[in-house]
Amino acid sequence: MDSQIFSQDVCVIGGGGHVGLPFALICADSGLRTVIYDVDRNRVEQIRAGVMPFCEEGAEEMLTRVLASGRLVVEDQPCLISSCRFLVMIIGTPVDEHLNPTFGAIDRALRAAREHLRDGQVLILRSTVFPGTSQRIQRFLDAAGLRIQVACCPERVAQGHSLREFRELPQILSSFDDEALAAVRELFGRFARDFVEMTPAEAELCKLMTNAWRYIQFATVNQFYMLATAHGVDFERILHGCRHEYPRMAGMPGPGFAAGPCLVKDTMQLAAFSHNHFMLGHSAMLVNEGLPSHLIELARRDGDLAAATVGILGMAFKAESDDSRDSLAYKLRKLLVLEARQVLCTDPFVRDPGLVPLERVLAESDVLFVATPHAAYRRLPPITGKRVIDVWSCLQKPSLSQ
């Protein structure tokens, strides 16, 4: 790395976040002098103290190691940006309440960093961005008279498994400039082995299409589930029939909540890019977002919910995670609150003062919904004497004699 001009190798802007922090850790652990810059002061203090702010496999040990090595510096001010050769931007890129893409966060971050930007730096966009963002930022930097090259290298890891996947997954690399692309290849080569090089426009779409593809696949199987269960047919048995020793269906996912901070918002970014002609994307959203109310409809078949205490197992958006951002479990709760006598929710990982212990949910609920298939629920003994709605087929089933 260019140690002559820059005293640090990498600054991860948004480095306290769910993907920014693991990325900063892998950089520092690979020998790179790494700076985390994050505006969230609490997060910064936690990280400095060696505490992971969220669940991430293997991260706590790595954090301890890189802090002790002196290769990781954690800041809530942008002052160290000017010392870093590579600026890796991994801040949130949400859609707004009308599901339109928002551009403000990246623009604000760049403006805040403006006085610390220096010629010769490479700005790597690792956030998932609306198509055309890389080009727009390159133009902004050129117009400001800065010799900074933009690269777009979207993140594709699954939250919770980042540290393993950084080393295993091919990295998508792109830049408008060949020299910058070579520098980025060298940077990622510190921990990754396989690269796919493309143009920034291709890289932006590749990431969005990957997430939209997964979201549509989940919607397809969720719609099959709704079709079957609406007619009283056991979908689990159908799924087994579809997949069993039949390689063409091997990749078929099971039904469940398709939620979280990425899939729906990236599908909606693609929908906006298509000027709202991305019919499959919109349909997928209607199906996936409609699943909670379908499950309530199934529960209602065996009796009114008005007098019932309803329990929800799992509030995180996916198994073994503490992340409840955009979790459909909360949508399920909102709908149930309207019609049940009481709704009790539990989760072994999510920190939310409104949650209660699992034992209480199991003891007091007349009806149980499994919203997140945490491993702890798979280990529960079969539940009898209650209505159970388990879209994931996560719980053990009572034997016929029970």
Ligand X SMILES: NC(=O)c1ccc[n+]([C@@H]2O[C@H](COP(=O)([O-])OP(=O)(O)OC[C@H]3O[C@@H](n4cnc5c(N)ncnc54)[C@H](O)[C@@H]3O)[C@@H](O)[C@H]2O)c1
Q: Using CB under 6 A, list all residues that contact ligand X.
A: 13-14, 16-20, 37-40, 43, 90-93, 105, 108-109, 112, 127-128, 155, 157, 159, 261-262
Q: Least distance (Å) from ligand X to the CB of residue 321?
A: 9
Q: Least distance (Å) from ligand X to the CB of residue 78?
A: 7
The answer to whether the beta carbons of residues 326 and 264 sit under 8 Å apart is: yes
The answer to whether the beta carbons of residues 203 and 174 sit under 8 Å apart is: yes
Name the residue type at position 108: R
How far CA 21 is from CA of 72, 74, 123, in Å, comes to 11, 10, 17
The answer to whether the beta carbons of residues 208 and 128 sit under 8 Å apart is: yes
Q: Least distance (Å) from ligand X to the CB of residue 357?
A: 27
SS3 content of the chain, % helix, strand, coil (to 5): 45, 15, 40
DSSP codes, 113-160 = HGGG--TT-EEEE-S---TTHHHHHHHHHHHTT---EEEE----PPTT
Q: How many C-beta atoms surround the C-beta of residue 202 within 10 A?
A: 15
- Residue 103 or 224: the one with the smaller Cβ distance to ligand X is 103
Nearest to 36 by CA among 69, 72, 68, 8: 72
Q: Least distance (Å) from ligand X to the CB of residue 139?
A: 20
Q: How far apart are CA 10 and CA 315, in angstroms?
A: 35
- Residue 243 or 325: the one with the smaller Cβ distance to ligand X is 325
- Residue 285 or 299: the one with the smaller Cβ distance to ligand X is 285
- Residue 114 or 185: the one with the smaller Cβ distance to ligand X is 114
- Residue 75 or 289: the one with the smaller Cβ distance to ligand X is 75
- Residue 80 or 105: the one with the smaller Cβ distance to ligand X is 105
Q: How far apart are CA 317 and CA 329, in angstroms?
A: 7
Name the residue type at position 351: R
Nearest to 175 by CA among 121, 130, 211, 212: 121
- Residue 90 or 383: the one with the smaller Cβ distance to ligand X is 90
- Residue 56 or 390: the one with the smaller Cβ distance to ligand X is 56
In angstroms, the first-to-last Cα distance of the chain is 66
For the record, the structure tokens of 166 come out as 């950084």
For the record, the structure tokens of 218 come out as 């989940």
For the record, the structure tokens of 278 come out as 């991305």
Q: Which residue is nearest to ligand X (CB)?
A: 17
Q: Least distance (Å) from ligand X to the CB of residue 207?
A: 7
- Residue 225 or 317: the one with the smaller Cβ distance to ligand X is 317
- Residue 166 or 225: the one with the smaller Cβ distance to ligand X is 166
Q: How far apart are CA 180 and CA 394, in angstroms?
A: 47
Three-state secondary structure of 199-249: CHHHHHHHHHHHHHHHHHHHHHHHHHHHHHHHCCCCHHHHHHHHHCCCHHH
